[in-house]
Amino acid sequence: MAPQGDPILEVRDLVKHFPLTQGIVMKRQIGAIKAVDGVSFDLRRGETLGVVGESGCGKSTLAKLLMALEKPTSGSVKVNGELVDVHRGSNLKRFRRNIQMVMQDPYTSLNPRMTVGDIIGEPYEIHTEVAPKGDRRKKVQDLLEVVGLNPDHINRYPHQFSGGQRQRIGIARGLALQPEIIICDEPVSALDVSIQAQVINLLERLQSEFGLAYIFIAHDLSVVRHISDRVAVMYLGKIVEIGKDTEIYDKPSHPYTQALLSAVPVPNPEGRETRERIILQGDPPSPANPPSGCRFRTRCWKAQEICAVEEPLLQIRPGTDHESACHFAEVHDVVHAS
């Protein structure tokens, strides 16, 4: 299903700082980890937004903020035009029904002492209006069938399933409340290569069947490209470039995106000796003390004086047709994908 209509999710200037404190009795705040620092984007019905970035860039904190598992320091999240108020229980409950999550690790995200039926049916305990008591077992069995598991296995425990099957259970749990948005936080990275394709196909089928919108967080750029309509690249708590999948992959304009794309090993040995590789020096700086101006400047080969002084805004730059947060944005196709 093609993305359509008004945004279902509007995120504006979302900020999450985790305080760093010193002292036990007299706690003083000595700083903050700026995990997410001013993130804005829209998501439309049926659309998939891929979020890529290295560990520590704030992708998972972003997921938690969208799930209202963390309270944002500032900024707003609107679902279907309605502001999410994390301080009002009834508002929050309604909102949470509409936005669900699939976790990374299917081995630790399922309670080993609960049967599959209880795991998938647990959301109904809280949102009783979705399924009346007598109806639940049938609903859970339907869900198992939807995700390609045997409905007769409803009384089994998670350890009786393989990794890929467990991820299917996690997906079924996410679908239980018929949400409009599902956040997938690295949904296939814990799975074997031959199983990943099965789960990706399932996610795509469910999207077209139920018109779901996905936020797809992953570090595997080829998987993100396959599934996403738009892609956001994050670095140290900020989106540095966002655009359609073709714009990001074929015409990246931010140096970090270019470096990231060129660092991904291409599963084809032809021409490997001549392939362009931008190897970044060092590690990402600490989000507790990010560099002034542009956060990427400490590892950037294009950095000039202005980069240390003025923070580049995420906006459409000359010569490109998507937003990029670089003073010297310039389209450069690093991958030359065939």
Partner 1 sequence: MKNPSVDTHLLPADSGTIGTEPLLAVDNLHVEFSTRQGVARAVNGVSYALNAGETLAVLGESGSGKSVTAQAIMGILDMPPARIPKGEIRFRGTDLLQLSEAQRSQIRGQQIAMIFQDALSALNPVFTVGWQIAEMFRVHKGMSKKAAYAKAVELMDRVRIPAAKQRVNDYPHQFSGGMRQRIMIAMSIALDPEVLIADEPTTALDVTVQAQIMELLAELQRESNMGLILITHDLGVVADVADKIAVMYGGRIVENAPVHDIYSNAAHPYTKGLLESIPRVDMKGQELYAIKGLPPNLLDMPTGCAFHPRCPFRQDNCVTDVPALHEISGTRSSACHYWREVLDGTAG
Comparing C-alpha atoms, which of 224, 212, 260, 217 is closest to residue 59?
217
Comparing C-alpha atoms, which of 338, 336, 335, 310 is closest to residue 259?
335
274 scored as a contact of partner 1 (CB under 8 A): no
288 scored as a contact of partner 1 (CB under 8 A): no
Beta-carbon contacts of residue 101 (< 8 Å; ≥ 6 apart)? 63, 67, 174, 182, 183, 184, 185
104-116: burial string, b at 16+ Cβ within 10 Å, e else: bbbeebbeeeebb
Of 114 and 197, nearer to partner 1 (C-beta) is 197
CB of 55 to partner 1, least distance (A): 6
24 scored as a contact of partner 1 (CB under 8 A): no
Instruction: State which of positions 205-224 bind partner 1 (CB under 8 A).
Output: 205, 219, 221-223
Instruction: State which of positions 188-207 bind partner 1 (CB under 8 A).
Output: 192-198, 200-201, 204-205
150 scored as a contact of partner 1 (CB under 8 A): no
Which range binds partner 1 by CB under 8 A, 5-13, 124-132, 255-263, 323-331?
A: 255-263
Beta-carbon contacts of residue 188 (< 8 Å; ≥ 6 apart)? 167, 195, 196, 199, 200, 218, 220, 223
265 scored as a contact of partner 1 (CB under 8 A): yes
**Of these, 32, 86, 264, 308, which contacts partner 1 (CB under 8 A)?**
264
* Alpha carbons 124 and 131: distance in angstroms, whole number: 6
Of 139 and 226, nearer to partner 1 (C-beta) is 226
β 48-52/74-79 pair status: unpaired
Of 26 and 279, nearer to partner 1 (C-beta) is 279
Order of strands, edge to edge, in the sheet holding 82-83?
28-45, 4-22, 74-79, 82-83
> Which helix (H) or strand (E) covers residue 173, if one does?
helix 163-175
Comparing C-alpha atoms, which of 297, 296, 299 is closest to residue 279?
299
* Alpha carbons 335 and 278: distance in angstroms, whole number: 11
CB of 337 to partner 1, least distance (A): 5
**Of these, 153, 156, 226, 302, which contacts partner 1 (CB under 8 A)?**
226
CB of 313 to partner 1, least distance (A): 24
Beta-carbon contacts of residue 24 (< 8 Å; ≥ 6 apart)? none
For 130, 165, 166, 171, 328, the CA distances from 144, given in Å and listed in that order, are 17, 10, 11, 10, 50
CB of 56 to partner 1, least distance (A): 9
81 scored as a contact of partner 1 (CB under 8 A): no
CB of 220 to partner 1, least distance (A): 9
260 scored as a contact of partner 1 (CB under 8 A): yes
Of 135 and 209, nearer to partner 1 (C-beta) is 209
Of 89 and 267, nearer to partner 1 (C-beta) is 267
Would you tell me which residues interact with partner 1 (CB under 8 A)?
54-55, 162, 164-165, 192-198, 200-201, 204-205, 219, 221-223, 225-227, 245, 249, 259-260, 262-270, 272, 277, 279-283, 337-338
